[in-house]
Chain A
Amino acid sequence: MLAWGETMRKMYNTQRPTDFTTEWLGFSTDNGAYFYYGWNQSYPSGAHKTYQDALLGVHDYAVKADIPYKSILLDSWWSVGTR
């Protein structure tokens, strides 16, 4: 995938913007993501009570699985959602 990206940038004479979120692996909570409006159904019942619990669970799992996330996208639908 990295080689594909390099080829496409070369084809269109563009450069990757210097941005923390494009340089490093991050965790997204946006639509389509595993936890999007499904965090309390998809995880073992009772494990996570709130959005905050869910994200702390993501952090715990990332540490356990050695996944080097450097950012988390807090989608607006999370922060002002009704559920």
Chain B
Amino acid sequence: MPTFVAAGQLSLTAGTGTPGAWQIAIDNKAWFSSGNASVTVGGRTYSAADGSLAPKGQAVAAAGTDALGAFTATTQIWAAGATPYVTASRLYAAGGFAVFEQRFPSGAAGTNVTHVKGAPLVSSCYPAIHPRPAGGRKLGYVWWGGRAFLEGSRGGAWQGGDSRNGPGVGLGDGGGPYVVFGEDMVYSLVFSPASNFMINTPGMSSRPGAAGANASGQSAPTSDGSLCFGLDAPVESVPVVHRLPG
């Protein structure tokens, strides 16, 4: 769902182990590896972390072309209980950017993990990013958010731990795009929603299991430590064939 744009030559490489794993590299130097893809359906969070989000078959690679040019797509179909969930990445031949997409081909109900507006969580997580930069790389960020993409904006050192509050960028319904850059200021990496801007937001993923949502929002769910773009936490359902392309 977000768009990744790099100043250098961006590459995505398939990871090993967890289905759908990948690594973001710029000029062949790793910046981020993937976290745990997850999705909440029927009040339950299914995650690749514990296998409750189950891959249906192998990821499929295919070439294609759209308005942005020629790309190579890698698509993985998952089962969140009985609900199908599809994730795909498209790396464009022009270089410099990739699009990640998640789809709900049958729609989904009970997707909210909380009723608390502004919670720093998402209820679906793809791409899932491990907040700790590869190789201990030191990074900084600037994030735009709040009213007019201005009032909440901030920047600072990227906090690469697994805090529920993420690496420092704004999360939840006030979230917007952010740019990450290295100490040498040579390359930068932009993460941004690319569609469905009102509900497609950066946020931390939820732990697998019962979503913990309740009407008053008193039981705040905790994050499993993956930084995501996905459905804003209070979104309760997804229409059929809803796409969150990035």
| A33–B188 touching, CB < 8 Å | no
CB-CB under 8 A from B153, the residues of chain A are 32
CA distance A11 to B151 in the complex (A): 27
CB-CB under 8 A from A11, the residues of chain B are 3, 67-68, 194
Q: Which of B52-60, B142-150, B212-220 contacts A (4 or more CB under 8 A)?
A: B142-150
CB of A7 within 8 A of chain B?
Answer: yes
B residues contacting the other copy or chain, number (CB 8 A) = 20
Tell me which residues from 144 to 185 in chain B have a Cβ below 8 Å from any Cβ of chain A. Answer: 146-148, 150-153, 177, 179
| B97–A3 touching, CB < 8 Å | yes
A-B pair count, CB < 8 Å, reads 45
CA distance A62 to B194 in the complex (A): 34
CB of B7 within 8 A of chain A?
Answer: yes
CB of B192 within 8 A of chain A?
Answer: yes
CB of A50 within 8 A of chain B?
Answer: no
CA distance A46 to B155 in the complex (A): 28
| A31–B5 touching, CB < 8 Å | no
Size bin of chain A's contact surface: 10 to 19
Given contacts A3-B5, A4-B177, A8-B192, contact A30 B97 (CB under 8 A): no
CA distance A1 to B190 in the complex (A): 7
| A10–B190 touching, CB < 8 Å | no
CA distance A8 to B146 in the complex (A): 20
CB of B107 within 8 A of chain A?
Answer: no
| A33–B190 touching, CB < 8 Å | no
Given contacts A8-B3, A32-B152, could you give 14 more A-B pairs where the C-beta distance is less than 8 Å?
A1-B190, A3-B96, A3-B190, A4-B3, A4-B97, A4-B179, A7-B3, A7-B96, A10-B68, A13-B67, A28-B150, A30-B150, A30-B151, A32-B146
10 A-B contacts (beta carbon < 8 Å): A1-B190, A3-B5, A4-B3, A4-B190, A4-B192, A7-B96, A8-B192, A11-B67, A32-B151, A32-B152
Q: Which residues of A contact B (CB under 8 A)?
A: 1, 3-4, 7-8, 10-11, 13, 28, 30-33
- Top 4 closest pairs, chain A to chain B, by CB: A32-B151, A4-B5, A4-B190, A32-B150
